[in-house]
Chains A and B, each alone.
Chain A
Amino acid sequence: MQITTPQFKENATRAIQDASLQKALKNVETGFIAKRLAATDALPEFDALRDNARDIKNHTLAHLDLYLEEYEKKVTASGGHVHFAETAEEARAIILDICRKRNAKSVTKGKSMITEEIGLNDFFEKNGIQPVETDLGEYIIQLRGETPSHIIAPAVHLNKDQIESDFRRVHTHLPAGRDLSEHEALLNEARQVLRKRYFEADVGVTGANFLIAETGSSVIVTNEGNGDLTQTLGKCHVVVASIEKVVPTLNDCAQILRLLARSATGQDMSVYTTFSTGPKRAEDPDGPEEYHVVLLDNGRTAMLGTEFQEMLRCIRGACMNHCPVYHAVGGHAYGAVYPGPMGAVLTPSLSGIEVGGNLPNASTFCGRCESVCPMRIPLPKMMRHWREREFEKHLQPTAARYGLKVWAFFAKRPKLYRAAVSVAMPLLSALGGSKRRIHSLPLAGGWTRHREMPAPEGKTFLQAWAERQATGAGR
């Protein structure tokens, strides 16, 4: 995808002014949060599970090489193939090669963020292969030529009427007068259109929520069953996953699964949780003839051993659903594959702080993301680390940097600071007049564009306190 993170501010302003987007975003703010709360409240051990899950992933990341080797062995033993790809480009080449060998014309896809990360759909189209997204949300945005605006609800930025008009535009083989006024009708239509596509597909591509070292299995969680059809009806199943998806055992996977759906969608479990181990065996009634796993690094090993390692615990849970910035601007404004707080940490890791610098800055540090993260990832702390990297590299805007330096110069010299503020604050106070507020203030345009500046009372507290102490008025 086209990364537009450097234009985040402009993107955000446009998003805030987009009435239709704002209407759709209301669903994130109300639906996901209440559902998560109900699901987590009903599970007394939820927080203990979060601790366990954190420890499982920390252990795995500390021994990632060993678990990846073990995983590869088990996949191979079950008749599958593991391909290691260091970059997105390598991953695309590997996948194309698999498809070419099968002379594939059409590829169905289960919902997968990692294939967004490597830009697989565009690449397929350039190489004469038709990618067919089978998740309803992904199918809708594919019709619109868009990217996902949310990692689990890719079309959450859209309203029903927009989807209806897209279906009428594209599904021209269906009667023009059909009734699409109900959500159910849209769902049935998509299902009907897609069903045929599964059987036409030569290859099915899915992501993976987990890879299990103990068994060599890949695991996907879905609510529509489209992932199952994608991976069992295609003649060849290609799993694309980043290396940190591995967990040691089935038991570890089961523990983290108890957190995932509760955190992300507020379900106890997603409707389908599907384990795939190798290709179809002789005695199996169905399944793919070939089973491939493409393991993508794309900058992740570089995060190991740094202050960003903990980000690799991410299972794509709850952060963006709870983020006030995401609620305000939606996912596309971030201009990167992964939006929201997790994207604000991951994007600079994948694309560089020079490109992704806006995102870790665009946070109020309200801490709500960390408080709901199923894997207890300290997201604000890591965003702050990115700001430190930016500061070290002198990447912040000159005015902000200069302002900070001037302020710090005074703040580090209490006497000088006292002298300066004792003069400045009464002057600023006088500007407030009888209303006790200032409507417009030079150098504070960012503030006064949208709100009044409260006028200071007059003397500073320390000034007034010292005077009271001197006259004996204080206690």
Chain B
Amino acid sequence: MTKKPTVGLFVTCLADLFRPTVGFAAAKLIQDAGCDLEVPMAQTCCGQPAYNSGDRADARALAMQAIEAFEEFDYVVAPSGSCAGMLKKHYPGLFKGDPTWEPRAIAFSAKVHELVSFLTDVMKVETVQSSFSGTVTYHDSCSGLRELGIKQQPRKLLKSIPGVKISEMKDSEVCCGFGGTFCVKYPDISNAIVEKKVATVDDTGADLLLAGDIGCLMNMAGKIRREGGRTEVRHVAEVLADMTDVPPIAGK
């Protein structure tokens, strides 16, 4: 029997702090796909907030920390297109010209995958077992969509769940207005963008809004609850792993 691939779960700071259920759901999905999973304790954040604030020194320090903690695994998997995009697409550039760290960063980046695309594209998962039942709508988070090409993968796995009906929103590829620190630096603009987004969500009549990034989900959930909307909000992994017992993001 061939050895199972080893996967280091990069849980991401937002899942770690706000939504542990997503971490457990990711762990279950990765293990069900036939991998040996480990969760290194030396992880904090991928460094994107520093990177996007122009603070390359701290971004580099956090990148080194992540590379050291995760480079031993066959794969590094994160339940976020944004964080996976940072690890995969931006780490090598942080070490450009550095004879030691640039090759290490390139080798590390090659192993990084976003959770759902890892399941479908690498582990060739075709179906998931989930008793979830309801109408869902899926928001394509920007980094996952444009940096990593994640579009059909989550829909494919959702469709393998007998009880799931997908009702697509208009402009599912348009940004929700979160943008990391953008949403607190420019709250009024962020709000104008998320207002449009939740209106398109509402138009679908879906019971549940899903996406692959907790940042976007917290933004949209926070807005839907503030406006008194009816749609509940969860990370797609919660549905795929059949872990929808905890209250949705920002409650019902």
Contact = CB atoms under 8 A, between A and B. Distances in A.
Contact of B218 (A9, A16, A454): A454
Contacts of A390: 54
A396 B179 contact: no
A474 B36 CA distance: 12
A35 interface: no
26 contacts: A9-B186, A324-B193, A365-B179, A366-B174, A367-B147, A384-B51, A389-B54, A390-B54, A400-B53, A404-B49, A407-B49, A414-B44, A425-B18, A432-B251, A437-B222, A447-B187, A450-B187, A457-B246, A458-B20, A459-B20, A461-B15, A461-B17, A461-B23, A465-B20, A465-B24, A465-B27
Nearest to B250: A454
A364 B182 contact: yes
A454 B182 contact: no
Contacts of B174: 324, 366, 368
Interface in B28-67: 31, 37, 39, 41-45, 47, 49-56, 58, 61-62, 65
B226 interface: yes
B184 A364 contact: no
Contacts of B58: 404, 408, 411-412
A362 B179 CA distance: 9
Contacts of A188: none
Contacts of B156: none
Contact of B184 (A13, A411, A444, A465): A444
Contacts of B39: 462, 465
Q: Is the interface of A mostly helix, strand, loop or mixed?
A: helix
Nearest to B42: A414
Q: Is the interface of B mostly helix, strand, loop or mixed?
A: helix
Interface string B189-217: 11111100000000000000000000000
Contacts of A408: 50, 55, 58, 61-62
A453 interface: yes
A354 interface: no
Nearest to B46: A411
A465 B43 CA distance: 13
Contacts of B17: 421, 425, 456, 460-461
A462 B41 contact: yes
Contact of A461 (B24, B146, B182, B247): B24
A392 interface: yes
B13, B22, B143, B186: most-surrounded residue (chain A CB, <10 A): B186
Contacts of B21: 457
Given A454-B251, A456-B17, 20 more contacts: A16-B188, A328-B189, A328-B193, A329-B189, A363-B182, A368-B146, A368-B173, A396-B54, A408-B62, A414-B43, A421-B16, A425-B17, A434-B251, A437-B225, A452-B225, A453-B222, A458-B20, A461-B16, A461-B24, A475-B31
B223 interface: yes
Interface of B: 11, 13, 15-24, 27, 31, 37, 39, 41-45, 47, 49-56, 58, 61-62, 65, 142-143, 146-147, 173-175, 177-194, 218-219, 221-223, 225-226, 246-252
A473 B18 CA distance: 22
B189 A325 contact: yes
A371 interface: yes
A366 B142 contact: yes
A358 B31 CA distance: 45
Interface size on A, as a range, is 35 or more
Contacts of B61: 408, 412
Given A400-B181, A437-B225, A454-B249, A391 B186 contact: no
A417 interface: yes
Given A392-B54, A460-B20, A462-B11, A414 B146 contact: no
A388 interface: yes
A190 to B, nearest CB: 32
A362 B51 contact: no
A114 to B, nearest CB: 28
The 6 A-B pairs of least Cβ separation, nearest first, read A364-B179, A451-B222, A391-B54, A436-B251, A387-B54, A446-B184
A450 B248 CA distance: 20
Contacts of A368: 142, 146, 173-175
Contacts of B247: 436
Nearest to B246: A457
A414 B41 CA distance: 8
B198 to A, nearest CB: 9
B41 A466 contact: yes
Given A329-B189, A366-B175, A387 B52 contact: yes
Given A364-B175, A412-B65, A414-B43, A13 B188 contact: yes
A300 interface: no
A365, A390, A465: most-surrounded residue (chain B CB, <10 A): A365
B44 A410 contact: yes
